[in-house]
Amino acid sequence: MTIRDWPDSERPREKLLLRGAAALSDAELLAVFLGSGLRGMDAVELGRDLLRRHGGLRPLLRLPPAALLRERGLGAARTTRLLAALELAARHLCADLDRGDPLGDPGRAAAYFSVRLRDRPQEVFACAFLDSRHRMIVFEELFTGSLDGADVYPREVVRRCLQHNAAAVIFGHNHPSGVTDPSAADRAVTRRLVDALRLVDIRVLDHFIVGDGPVLSFAARGWL
């Protein structure tokens, strides 16, 4: 039996239109994206196979482009569409803050950094440069490292703050391991950044660590 033989209410596309995207399983969402399966395997079965082999949706979507291209059932066309869809979703979630809305609410700020950094395969240290009303001037990825660390240079951070005429900043970096516990180096570099920026009257509002669970906030822990 193929998907065409399923009841209309159970076909992924029709089900999405009738009940909304949230009603679909991960495999069904992938099936809608894939459009068709392979010989002897419909689109839902192909979606299930991809999820099974990679341990779920997130590990699958974290694969680098070169690895996605090698996946059975994807190829160049589907891989490029998938990467474009992921970027569209990220931009949609970030759109309100990118257009200049205040970034003062800790929950919104944490969500923003999570969208930007959560699925990066290497550690990335980023900064949101804010004006005096805590509106976003620009978001920049300042330093990129390896799986377990990135070198951060306070002098370069100060230079970028002055270049953007920032009144305040929020820092964030990801832990590709998924564990958000801060290392001694994380806490030490945060203190160095706070001290360096205080000399030029720029406030550090928070430093987030992004992993698999809730985002860790230095401000909420009283570490700033």
* Same domain (yes/no): 211, 151: yes
Instruction: Work out whether strand 216-217 and strand 124-130 pair parallel, antiparallel, or are unpaired.
Output: unpaired
The candidate with the shortest Cα–Cα distance to 23, out of 15, 31, 35, is: 15
* Same domain (yes/no): 106, 58: no
Residue 96 is predicted with a pLDDT of 60
* Same domain (yes/no): 105, 42: no
Q: Which of 74, 91, 108 is at the close of a domain?
A: 91
> What's the domain range around 183?
100-217
Residues 187-216: tens digit of each pLDDT: 999 999 999 999 999 999 999 999 988 999
Number of compact structural domains in the chain? 2
* Same domain (yes/no): 115, 200: yes
**Do you know the residue count of the chain?**
224
* Same domain (yes/no): 203, 121: yes
Neighbour-count burial for 185-215, b at 16+ CB within 10 Å, e otherwise: ebeebbeebbebbeeeebbbbbbbbbbeeeb
Residue 182 is predicted with a pLDDT of 94
Residue 127 is predicted with a pLDDT of 96
The candidate with the shortest Cα–Cα distance to 127, out of 138, 118, 119, 135, is: 138
Residue 3 is predicted with a pLDDT of 66
Q: Which residue has the tokens 């570490």?
A: 223
* Same domain (yes/no): 183, 84: no
How many CA atoms are closer than 13 Å to the CA of 131, on its beta-carbon side?
10
Residues 149-165: tens digit of each pLDDT: 678 999 999 999 999 99
Residue 94 is predicted with a pLDDT of 67
* Same domain (yes/no): 13, 79: yes
Q: Which of 64, 91, 118 is at the close of a domain?
A: 91
What is the mean pLDDT of each successive set of 10 residues along the chain, which is 224 residues long?
62 83 86 84 88 86 85 87 82 64 76 88 93 90 79 94 96 93 94 96 96 93 92
Residue 128 is predicted with a pLDDT of 94
Q: Which of 30, 62, 91 is at the close of a domain?
A: 91
Chain centre to alpha carbon of residue 119: 5
Helix or strand (DSSP H, E) at 123:
none
* The three-state (H, E, C) secondary structure of 33-57, written as one string: HHCCCECCECHHHHHHHHHHHHCCH
Residue 222 lies in a domain: no
Order of all β-strands in the sheet with 124-130: 136-144, 124-130, 168-174, 203-210, 216-217
Residue 170 is predicted with a pLDDT of 96
* Same domain (yes/no): 121, 210: yes
Quote the pTM value: 0.70
Residue 206 is predicted with a pLDDT of 96
AA letter at 100 = G
* Same domain (yes/no): 109, 83: no
Instruction: Work out whether strand 216-217 and strand 168-174 pair parallel, antiparallel, or are unpaired.
Output: unpaired
* Same domain (yes/no): 121, 192: yes
* Same domain (yes/no): 206, 176: yes
* Same domain (yes/no): 211, 158: yes
For 2, residues 6+ apart whose C-beta sits below 8 A from its C-beta are 42
Per DSSP, 209 falls in state: E
Residue 50 lies in a domain: yes
